[in-house]
Copies of this chain bind each other. A is one copy, B any other.
């Protein structure tokens, strides 16, 4: 039997239970699937079509970006260092009204996919408008992605009449549901302060009926709570739970301003979190209680957010920032250690978006979403612990090879 690909002679981090480190590790791939991993010598007699030498490189799962708005790379750096309302109302919303159309969405989503692939991201979870354009770009790029059509109770790009917002999302999901095994359509409800309770409930019902991930921005800013009608004495999380929005198929993005009791609720209903530290820092939104969420056993993935508010799709810098931010916020250097942080960007991210049976770790039966990171560089030398090196020293530009579903998309740091 002739296998497709053997990656060999690398330092293998599978990101599986116990976080083993295997020197001189190898991964065997057939039909886009991981069929085995172990030490290189175990596979010495195997016949393979393509051998990839990972000497002086780390072999690890591709990174998972749990929150993006891919087309917004067109607004990268358009307006920075401004109050949130000025930034949104005077810059981003007018720019969206002027420049966002199906063509620009597809073009800039392609651009974002290039950026993500070059920096070692193999899966993203997106939400925007004209999401069909995003989906087409993703299919073109070869990446794996959840793509969520936006739902909001205001006129939006491609959905001038808000009454059509849920129907548009449902049609998007139906159109893209069985097109590719790499694309997972979804419904992305903007937030509890821009959607009525009726919209929230109808969108969640539609997502459940279609069996797709429901995404929603939750408690991003401190004053968001004042913008929601009919909240009474409830917290935002209590409100969403009372509407039946929160379950294991819901991704709560940001979740900065949440209480200990909210964390108990999130744990009980098995909802998931996308943590976007750099966006929350740059927009001065606040610091999500991520160490508490992780301690509670809630799946927390890492996201960059859109390029207008970060301003990149770089999960290596996002990991570095996440690990350091929570340490200084809690004045505790032990929280968010390198292993916890790398899990957030891989297997925990996969759990958060419901793809943990498919990606997020290197193990038999999962799809081959794998990256090689070159550690033969001054800024990653010496290397006492590869987890520390990846989180605190490596850069996205050290990514040498990127494979999605067994297909090589980046080689020697360049798009194939």
Residue A312 interfacial (CB < 8 Å): yes
Interface set, chain A 221-235, CB cutoff 8 A to B: 222
Residue A328 interfacial (CB < 8 Å): yes
CA A311 – CA B79 in complex, angstroms? 31
Interface set, chain A 120-163, CB cutoff 8 A to B: none
Residue A330 interfacial (CB < 8 Å): yes
Stretch binding the partner chain, chosen from A187-195, A212-220, A317-325: A317-325
CA A378 – CA B331 in complex, angstroms? 36
Given contacts A278-B324, A381-B111, contact A392 B330 (CB under 8 A): no
Given contacts A333-B84, A378-B115, contact A393 B328 (CB under 8 A): no
- Quick check: B384 and A77 within 8 Å, CB to CB? yes
How many copies of the shown chain assemble into the complex? 2
CA A74 – CA B383 in complex, angstroms? 9
Which of the four size classes fits the interface of chain A?
A: 35 or more
CA A321 – CA B282 in complex, angstroms? 9
- Quick check: B325 and A281 within 8 Å, CB to CB? yes
Residue A284 interfacial (CB < 8 Å): yes
Interface set, chain A 287-339, CB cutoff 8 A to B: 287, 310-314, 317, 320-321, 323-325, 327-328, 330-334, 336-338
Residue A209 interfacial (CB < 8 Å): no
Residue A82 interfacial (CB < 8 Å): yes
Cβ of A392 to closest chain B Cβ, rounded Å: 4
- Quick check: A83 and B392 within 8 Å, CB to CB? no
Taking a contact as CB atoms closer than 8 A, the residue among B286, B327, B381 that contacts A76 in the complex is B381
- Quick check: B333 and A83 within 8 Å, CB to CB? yes
CA A73 – CA B384 in complex, angstroms? 12
- Quick check: B379 and A338 within 8 Å, CB to CB? no
CA A323 – CA B78 in complex, angstroms? 17
A395: which B residues are within 8 A, CB to CB? Answer: 314, 317, 395-397
Per-position 1/0 for A371-385, Cβ under 8 A of B? 000000011011111
Residue A42 interfacial (CB < 8 Å): no
Given contacts A314-B395, A337-B80, A397-B395, contact A330 B379 (CB under 8 A): no
A381: which B residues are within 8 A, CB to CB? Answer: 73, 76, 111
Residue A56 interfacial (CB < 8 Å): no
Pick the most buried of A76, A222, A378, A395: most chain B CB atoms within 10 A of its CB: A378
A207: which B residues are within 8 A, CB to CB? Answer: none
- Quick check: A284 and B332 within 8 Å, CB to CB? yes
Taking a contact as CB atoms closer than 8 A, the residue among B118, B284, B285, B333 that contacts A282 in the complex is B333
Give 10 nearest A-B pairs by CB, closest first. Answer: A397-B397, A281-B324, A81-B337, A77-B388, A284-B333, A281-B328, A311-B392, A115-B378, A284-B327, A114-B378
Besides A87-B333, A284-B333, A311-B393, 13 more A-B contacts (Cβ < 8 Å) are A77-B385, A78-B384, A81-B337, A114-B378, A115-B378, A119-B379, A278-B324, A282-B333, A283-B333, A284-B331, A312-B393, A395-B396, A397-B397
A-B contact pairs, 9 of them (CB 8 A): A73-B381, A80-B337, A222-B331, A280-B328, A281-B324, A284-B327, A286-B331, A312-B379, A314-B379
